[in-house]
């Protein structure tokens, strides 16, 4: 596994005059601000080829900060720093992480201080999707637990979860039928860190090594990670079999039909996928609680 090394780039002590502040005098008279920016980016192409076009320009970082600082007055330097960080991530695709510090050397406080400052850190978040399946034990409960565990991971937010789908085994190994679902969300974790999270959850919920495509307590696959492509011994993104599996496309199309993966829209890929009757069946809502798992009777 080779993970790109992120390069740090700094801009320090950028002095700008602006009119941000809570007090009327601050927005009328203005004052001096000092801005520091640090970014981390994959600049391997720039370094290998000595290519300025693949680097992150210090001047561009200064331009972004200047545009925010000299724009419409804001009350809080927290807001100022946050907008600079957000704009850096929006405009510079190579940047994965940014830290912005905005200092007020002449803050209007009745104390002897050398200055006041606010620092904001922000990491780029990527859209992700997971396919989850189980064909051993209490399948529905295991899938619910897996989604709950994903929801608790720092740096990962689960936004939507599909219904449950019953599906025939895939891959030619004789085994019990599966129950499947999909989940979508956003993450700041890098792809291999996210894979380690999935494998740890699988192990905690009872999965043990076995025959490839065989029976398992739970399986959690990453389907896509933004528009990133990964190809190595342990991870392929987008998922190599994504467009071959109805038990993936059916639940994914339920919650994210218009998402485009590798140039193909999910609903379009599902429409042309050859299927046999009974391969994948969506469970009808039955009023018994989440995913058909019966809720306990009230005390």
Q: Which of 91, 104, 199, 294 is catalytic?
A: 104
Query: 27: alpha, beta or left, given left = phi > 0 and alpha = psi -120 to 50?
Result: alpha
Give the chain's end-to-end CA distance (angstroms, integer). Answer: 52
128, 69 contact by CB (below 8 A): no
Other CB atoms within 10 Å distance of the CB of residue 262: 12
* CA atoms of 298 and 36, how far apart (whole Å): 56
Distances, alpha carbon 49 to alpha carbons 44, 45, 54, 55, 78, in Å? 8, 6, 9, 10, 38
**What whole-number distance in Å separates Cα of residue 216 and Cα of residue 185?**
24
Closest CA to 238 of 122, 111, 131, 108: 131
Burial 89-112 (b: 16+ CB within 10 A, else e): beebebbbbbbbbbbbeebeeeee
Catalytic-residue membership of 104: yes
CA dihedral 5, 46, 260, 224 (to 10 degrees): -10
Give every CB contact of residue 274 below 8 A, 6+ residues apart in sequence. none
* Burial label, 296 (beta-carbon count in 10 A; 0-12, 13-18, 19+): exposed
Give the residue numbers annotated as catalytic, written as ranges: 104
């Amino acid at each position: 596994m080779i993970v790109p090394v992120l390069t740090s780039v700094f801009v320090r002590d950028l002095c700008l005059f602006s009119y941000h502040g809570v007090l009327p005098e601050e927005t009328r008279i203005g004052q001096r601000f000092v801005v520091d920016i640090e970014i981390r980016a994959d600049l391997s192409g720039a370094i290998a080829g000595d290519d300025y076009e693949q680097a992150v320009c210090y001047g561009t970082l200064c331009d972004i900060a200047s545009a925010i600082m000299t724009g419409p007055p804001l009350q809080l330097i927290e807001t100022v720093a946050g907008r600079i960080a957000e704009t850096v991530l929006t405009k510079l695709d190579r940047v994965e992480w940014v830290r912005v510090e905005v200092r007020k050397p002449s803050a209007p406080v009745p104390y002897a201080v050398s200055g006041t400052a606010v620092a904001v850190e922000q990491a780029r978040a990527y859209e992700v999707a997971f396919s989850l399946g189980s064909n051993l034990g209490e399948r529905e409960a295991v899938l619910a637990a897996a989604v709950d565990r994903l929801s608790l991971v720092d740096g990962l937010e689960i936004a939507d979860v599909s219904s449950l789908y019953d599906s025939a085994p895939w891959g030619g190994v004789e085994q019990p039928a599966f129950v499947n679902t999909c989940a979508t969300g956003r993450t700041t974790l890098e792809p291999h860190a996210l894979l380690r999270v999935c494998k740890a959850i699988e192990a905690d919920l009872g999965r043990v090594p076995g025959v490839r495509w065989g029976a398992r307590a739970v399986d959690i696959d990453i389907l896509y990670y933004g528009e990133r492509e990964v190809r190595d011994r342990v991870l392929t993104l987008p998922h190599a079999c994504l467009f071959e599996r109805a038990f993936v496309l059916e639940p994914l199309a339920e919650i994210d039909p218009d998402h485009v993966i590798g140039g193909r829209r999910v609903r379009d890929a599902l429409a042309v996928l050859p299927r046999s009757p009974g391969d994948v069946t969506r469970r009808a809502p039955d009023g018994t609680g989440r995913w058909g798992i019966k809720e306990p009777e009230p005390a």
